[in-house]
Homo-oligomer: A and B are copies of this chain.
Amino acid sequence: MSKDPLVIFTPSGKRGNFPVGTPILTAARQLGVDLDSVCGGRGICSKCQITPSYGEFSKHGVTVADNALSEWNSVEERYDQKRGLPKGRRLGCQATVQGDIVIDVPPESQVHKQVVRKRAEVRNILMNPTVKLYYVEVKEPDMHEPSGDLERLRVGLKEQWNIDVPRADPHVLTHLQQALRKGAWKVTIAVHQGHAEASASIMQVWPGYYEGSLYGLAVDLGSTTIAGHLCDLQTGEVVASSGLMNPQIRFGEDLMSRVSYSMMNPNGAAEMTASVRAGMNGLFDQVASEAGIDKTLIMDAVFVCNPVMHHLFLGIDPFELGQAPFALATSDALRLEARDLDLELHPSARVYTLPCIAGHVGADAAAVALSEAPDKSDDLALIVDVGTNAEILLGNKTKVLACSSPTGPAFEGAQISSGQRAAPGAIERVEIDPETKEPRFRVIGSDLWSDDENFAEAIATTGITGICGSGIIEAIAEMRLAGIVDASGLIGSAAQVGTERCITDGRTHSYMMWDGSADGGPTITVTNPDIRAIQMAKAALYSGARLLMDKFDVATVDRIVLAGAFGAHISPKHAMVLGMIPDCKIEKVTSAGNAAGTGARIALLNSEARAEIEATVRKIVKVETAVEPRFQEHFVNASAIPNAVEPFPILESIVSLPKVSFNSGEERGGGRRRRRN
């Protein structure tokens, strides 16, 4: 008796012998090969497309004859005519084994396909959403065996897909009977399979085979902005992205002023909750309209946010977060329904919020940890997400530490005399000639530098309106590199520095970046109070990082990841000149973009990633900066702007710093500051 034909699947390499006539989909299932199917092998969904390979495969030790698969059949022909099958493709449920064969499963036919992320250094997302589609044939009712339509649907699901779904969401009952009859007892259902099998539930029923997609939302709920990505839950593709200002801004620009608002107003927290939820529903309208889909097809949503936003969004008064011991109402991940939060999506859309790490380190930091995975890193990674609060993670495979540091809003352009948000017209890049002390800069909205001959024309519509966060950092760092500012943060006088751009401004000096007054425009200067504000902010950031390094018992880190929108725009060189971040080789400083948003997207598309980040967060060592004496100590020492002679390391590898000293008070100035702190 001859042996059954050998079937080899690529790229998995799984192989087995199957009797002649076995459908490829059946062989794949028996071998545990990741081959998709929504219709269960009925030739309807075409998700099981495969590419057979013919010829000699010395690597696999087989030769595949031309007739190793059954002939193209009428189901494939019909599908090809109706929708078109790519050349060389077959339907895995139709093509049967006739001889030894090598079958390639293309990425789009894999259930657990990978969503390729733009930045190659970060792992891709494995698809495994919590909501999936199943095509089910249901037994017709029999008055002698009077079980309900739902119960027969569940039996079909068990028989045809081997999954137990103990219940249906209540609203499903209202459309179930019609769908079954309209689809002639064939329906497609969306099933939510959460972490516990007992909580699996049917979310929706469509008559016949449902051709559409299901959608999910990954939302990064920031204090200032809310950003949402609408994702296709089958392909993982981002189909629309949108953002809006957090409408809570009218209750307070920063988090602590919102906490105060809730303390001063009896219904303050409830007002803010209603406001952010209304904003959220507006965002959903935007993304749904951008993608041209019905909002009720959005079946799942993942939210990441800092602890105060987390509480306000959930309807919890953030009062306790405003004072030690900064107790969270709940720190674990939450699995809710959209209706619990007054969100208008699918009637029983699910909601997942990532766990909070600590009272100051929120679900957004957890999302960064999920995206950047320091717990999987061989080298020691410092990850900083810079915002009004900086969340800082330090770790490698052995352990991960986390803290937050109150940087305040200076990095976002607030508290800066000419500061503004990152918007067209804002100075975002600065260079100062160390010889002439003359600046050149770029503003948002144009790629030209200010010394380009076409610059004036390029910025005609936006004008030059102020300096944004990344601009002020570059300006101060360049001022320091050009010898305009000393290590203590004092701007020299025109005489000391040797440029008329240094002007007297009260008891200190300012540096004139741009004088538009001749044309009725603004005068943009960097003042000494501006430098003080940035010094405070960067000292907080630096001190948090140093505190974690102390706790980790290291003096240096292997690499630094700058996360967040601000992190994406900041220049690593200037950040290091300023002393925002510890010393590190410049090429080892990378930007992760909106890592919190990416983490939310991973949690949306892969339910196992949820369990994973929950376990990771439980293991993260939390460090509370507010009560760490070492933090205060680092803070006091970190306000200076480093150069080669300072105790703060660095930078030889990047630039050679001129050693400047305006007056003999420099050391004393530093000393006074230390005492005042």
Contact = CB atoms under 8 A, between A and B. Distances in A.
A358 interface: yes
A340 interface: yes
A142 interface: yes
Contacts of A315: 170-171, 173-174
Contacts of A627: 143-144
A201 to B, nearest CB: 11
A336 interface: yes
Interface string A187-200: 00000000010110
A104 interface: no
A622 interface: yes
Given A143-B624, A148-B356, 19 more contacts: A143-B627, A146-B326, A146-B327, A147-B328, A148-B328, A148-B330, A149-B320, A149-B329, A150-B330, A150-B331, A151-B330, A167-B335, A170-B314, A170-B336, A173-B316, A174-B316, A176-B330, A177-B316, A198-B199
Contacts of A340: 170
A145 interface: yes
A300 interface: no
Most central of A142, A144, A167, A176 by chain B CB within 10 Å: A144
A-B pairs, top 10 by smallest CB distance, nearest first, are A148-B331, A141-B327, A146-B358, A143-B325, A150-B330, A148-B330, A148-B328, A196-B198, A170-B340, A143-B624
Contact of A331 (B146, B166, B170, B171): B146
B319 A177 contact: yes
A317 interface: yes
Given A177-B317, A319-B177, A356-B148, A326 B624 contact: no
A274 to B, nearest CB: 13
A307 B196 CA distance: 31
B177 A143 contact: no
A332 interface: yes
A557 interface: no
A168 interface: yes
B329 A176 contact: yes
B143 A359 contact: yes
Nearest to A402: B146
B332 A150 contact: yes
Interface in A131-178: 140-151, 166-168, 170-171, 173-174, 176-178
Contacts of A327: 141, 146, 148-149, 177
Nearest to A623: B144
A264 interface: no
A75 B519 CA distance: 86
